[in-house]
Structure 1
């Protein structure tokens, strides 16, 4: 039997306050989630977002996705060399619903890509490419919708993109453009929903070795408690534990009631190695700011 895990999430929510300052320079920035994953309820203002429809053949979208998926297989360690060599021609090499977003760093395709599931066939025919064009002074996002403009699905994808939540810019946390983005999140239109904070996965290899520690995250949340930015404020000393906490935090909703404004909160996450398979133990303390 695999070791049971105990992950203690400790959150001080009683003293939540409106965001008053950007994250400090000592905090470590983590990669933002694709902007098309979460949608605001209100139409995006045109002062920060420009949406373009790019007429592109379905085969071109499929090619970009195929290249990124193949690169993921090559670097993920999910397959051995023999499997990788045969992968491009393998029958099972096709669209994966759990792998729809990829970041491309350079070239004409640079940006954060999110691919729409294919209506038919093995490969997607539409995608959104989000490009951060912010500078130190201005927050600007360009979203290119790659699809057949004559189709209903393309028009729907464009409308969804125009209503997307503002993605985090790559500019410094103390810049005017980052502050402008933070103010958008602070007053973002959203709908309250039940609090949801699933525990991060505890890597079994570390649990078996008795390796654990505390990860402290610094989160920017919107008025409904949805996470819009994640910082690693304190490392556990184990990159796998840090990354597990970071990855899980993106899907958290830290409160069930809508607040007047967004907030910055600190969330300590304790990975406590199990003392036995039947009764793992740990200690919960109140979070501090």
Structure 2
């Protein structure tokens, strides 16, 4: 009866296997690439730790929007790239010495026979994954009025996770402009962009591309 109760309690996460080593097989941390390659530079902290139920990702960010984008990117990578099961926790606000921050948890569980390949990145990905210029022109980053009035310019480098159909599944800040308004404007616009992918690239599944976004007062 105790085993049945435990099985039912875990059913929402990954189903209940019959073998006694089922819990040990919930190795979700292996489905993610190196943490630094998929971490928004604006995150205060992001840790991955394997426990009895799976891989527990714990993040802390300065804003709710950044926390949500980071959590979303990890979910996309784990589920779209190797069929892992992801259970996002609620994003909660906390105050430390009067400074607000936002934390989240994410539980990842992968089947023992899951095969996960690192998505294409860097120079190898660029010839086969290119931005649709029409979509970028239709959805340009908005120049924040406060930056316009102050005469401030900036440059953001984004990390985008691109689906086989060319949609941007998630956007993270790889290199910040140093201005939160620029970073937010760039990520909001990038999530609406589309990308062109050739047959070989689509077959690989999820792709990672780096896109610079410049804010200049021409």
Q: TM-score normalised by the shorter chain: which range applies?
A: 0.3 to 0.5
More strand by percentage: 2
Q: Which has the larger radius of gyration?
A: 1
Between Structure 1 and Structure 2, the one with more helix by share is 2
